[in-house]
């Protein structure tokens, strides 16, 4: 009773704390914040860390800051790598959405990767509480992704969701509101960027940063030879002479550069299908595989997975916000809250 009255004054929110992006959903308002999970910190002489910028502003500093400032991603490979900065980042997003004025602490649903350990869960909970949450519920990413992609997860039918984020790819088979089988690999969009950086270094003697690599991935990256040939001019530093140089890069070489991480992603899907109980497998054959997460937007990745598995593959509408929308629905519909810890 008291809780529901408090709810009238505070802005209850759902947060997708991702390796690449953090999204915030506010009850009744939808997705209100979507920024990179990056914090820029400045080290003073005593070795203290002061936060200079968070989110979009910090991303624009990536690879461009003076020596005493560092742009850091507090989450790596889907888990928290730096607790203190994660907490500061959460606090920033919560204050941005909630305003400092609000005197009632919000309830929060936070989405975490499947397989997060108890210690890591505790850390997320503590961060959210010290950042101002009144009540914290955790939801696992595959469930949130499935709810956000509108899959009928409460029914006794099998649904397969493949979420390709920045740090991880999670494959899950869900039925009756539970995860029947799940596999998570530490391969995601970041690793595709790294593969592009390595390729340019080896093939072209060119050094580029992660932002340029991501740009190339979005424009030229692809997973099927059906992809139309495309070229792009890339600026970087000549590794031999140290000068700036431009190179023309084409889509076929980028596809080759991405082959290995993409093979691992496809293997995670086929391996999961092999371990899915037969009745649920039948459902998946009928309904297809649903993809969410930014990585699912790589050109023709859906085609490649469909060709390998022989199953229909559907990329969710707005794959980048499926997880936060699913977490938001869990916040709004108490039935779902029972599935959370």
Ligand X SMILES: Nc1ncnc2c1ncn2[C@@H]1O[C@H](COP(=O)(O)OP(=O)(O)OP(=O)(O)O)[C@@H](O)[C@H]1O
List residues near ligand X by CB under 6 A: 18-21, 78, 165-168, 188-190, 214, 217-218, 221, 293-295, 297-298, 320
Identify how many contiguous H helices and E strands the chain contains and give both numbers: 12, 18
21, interface contact from Mg ion, ligand X, none, CB < 5-8 Å by kind: ligand X
302, interface contact from Mg ion, ligand X, none, CB < 5-8 Å by kind: none
142, interface contact from Mg ion, ligand X, none, CB < 5-8 Å by kind: none
Q: Is 188 in the site for Mg ion (CB under 5 A)?
A: no
Question: Could you tell me which of 274, 292, 293 has the C-alpha nearest to residue 284?
Answer: 274
Closer to ligand X at the Cβ: 157 or 214? 214
Closer to Mg ion at the Cβ: 123 or 139? 139
Residues 6+ apart with CB under 8 A from 70: 40, 41, 42, 43
Beta strand 21-26 with 135-140 is unpaired
Shortest separation between residue 50's beta carbon and Mg ion, angstroms: 29
Per DSSP, the residues of 232-252 read: EEEEEEETTT-SEEEEEEEHH
160, 188, 220, 300, 312 from 227: Cα distances, Å: 26, 21, 9, 7, 19
Shortest separation between residue 99's beta carbon and Mg ion, angstroms: 26
Closer to Mg ion at the Cβ: 18 or 221? 18
For Mg ion (CB under 5 A), the number of binding residues is 2
Q: Is 189 in the site for Mg ion (CB under 5 A)?
A: no
Element holding 7 (H helix, E strand): helix 2-9
Closer to Mg ion at the Cβ: 18 or 158? 18
Residues 6+ apart with CB under 8 A from 225: 252, 255
Judge contact between 239 and 205, C-beta under 8 A. Answer: yes
Indicate the DSSP class of residue 222: B
Per DSSP, the residues of 83-116 read: HHHHHHHHHHHHHHHH-TT--SPPEEEEEE-TT-
Burial label for 234, CB within 10 Å (0-12, 13-18, 19+), is: buried
Q: Is 18 in the site for Mg ion (CB under 5 A)?
A: yes
Shortest separation between residue 163's beta carbon and ligand X, angstroms: 6
Site for Mg ion in 117-176 (CB under 5 A): 165
| Closest-approach residue to ligand X (CB) | 189
Shortest separation between residue 193's beta carbon and ligand X, angstroms: 6
Question: Could you tell me which of 77, 297, 35 has the C-alpha nearest to residue 166?
Answer: 77
Shortest separation between residue 21's beta carbon and ligand X, angstroms: 4
Closer to ligand X at the Cβ: 108 or 164? 164
Shortest separation between residue 146's beta carbon and Mg ion, angstroms: 13
Shortest separation between residue 50's beta carbon and ligand X, angstroms: 25
Burial label for 108, CB within 10 Å (0-12, 13-18, 19+), is: buried
Torsion (CA) 44, 78, 61, 204 in degrees, nearest 10: 120
Stretch that binds Mg ion, among 10-18, 182-190, 261-269, 303-311 (CB under 5 A): 10-18
Q: For 138, phi and psi rounded to 5 degrees?
A: -110, 140
Closer to ligand X at the Cβ: 83 or 281? 83
36, interface contact from Mg ion, ligand X, none, CB < 5-8 Å by kind: none
Shortest separation between residue 25's beta carbon and Mg ion, angstroms: 14
The neighbouring-strand residues paired with 35 are 22
188, interface contact from Mg ion, ligand X, none, CB < 5-8 Å by kind: ligand X
Shortest separation between residue 19's beta carbon and ligand X, angstroms: 3
Stretch that binds Mg ion, among 18-26, 95-103, 210-218, 333-341 (CB under 5 A): 18-26
298, interface contact from ligand X, Mg ion, none, CB < 5-8 Å by kind: ligand X
Q: Which residues bind Mg ion (CB under 5 A)?
A: 18, 165
């Amino acid at each position: 009773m008291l809780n529901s009255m408090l709810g009238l004054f505070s802005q209850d929110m759902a947060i997708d704390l991702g390796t690449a992006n953090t999204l915030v959903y506010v009850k009744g308002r939808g997705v209100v914040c979507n920024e990179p999970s990056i914090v820029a910190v400045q080290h003073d002489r005593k070795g203290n860390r002061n936060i200079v910028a968070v989110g979009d502003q910090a991303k624009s500093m990536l690879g461009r800051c003076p020596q005493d400032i560092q742009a850091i991603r507090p989450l790596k490979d889907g888990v928290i790598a730096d607790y203190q900065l994660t907490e500061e980042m959460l606090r920033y997003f919560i204050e941005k959405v909630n305003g400092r004025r609000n005197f009632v602490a919000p309830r929060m649903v936070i989405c975490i990767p499947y397989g997060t350990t108890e210690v890591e869960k505790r850390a997320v909970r503590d961060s959210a509480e010290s950042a101002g949450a009144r009540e914290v519920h955790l939801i696992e990413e595959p469930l949130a992704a499935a709810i956000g992609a509108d899959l009928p997860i409460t029914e006794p039918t099998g649904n397969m969701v493949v979420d390709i984020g920045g740090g991880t790819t999670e494959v899950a088979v869900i039925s009756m509101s539970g995860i029947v089988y799940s596999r998570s690999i530490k391969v995601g969009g970041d690793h595709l960027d790294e593969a592009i950086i390595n390729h340019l270094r080896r093939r072209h003697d060119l050094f580029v940063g992660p932002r340029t690599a991501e740009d190339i991935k979005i424009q030229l990256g692809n997973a099927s030879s059906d992809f139309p040939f495309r070229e792009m001019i890339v600026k970087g530093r000549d590794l031999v002479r140290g000068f700036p140089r431009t190179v023309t890069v084409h889509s076929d070489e980028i596809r080759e550069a991405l082959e290995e991480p993409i093979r691992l992603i496809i293997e995670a899907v086929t391996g999961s299908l092999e371990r899915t109980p037969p009745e649920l497998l039948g459902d998946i054959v009928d309904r297809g595989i649903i993809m969410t997460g930014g990585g699912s937007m790589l050109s023709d990745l859906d085609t490649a997975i469909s060709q390998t598995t022989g199953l229909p593959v559907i990329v969710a509408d707005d794959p980048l916000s499926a997880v936060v929308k699913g977490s938001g629905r869990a916040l709004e519909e108490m039935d779902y809250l029972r599935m959370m810890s």
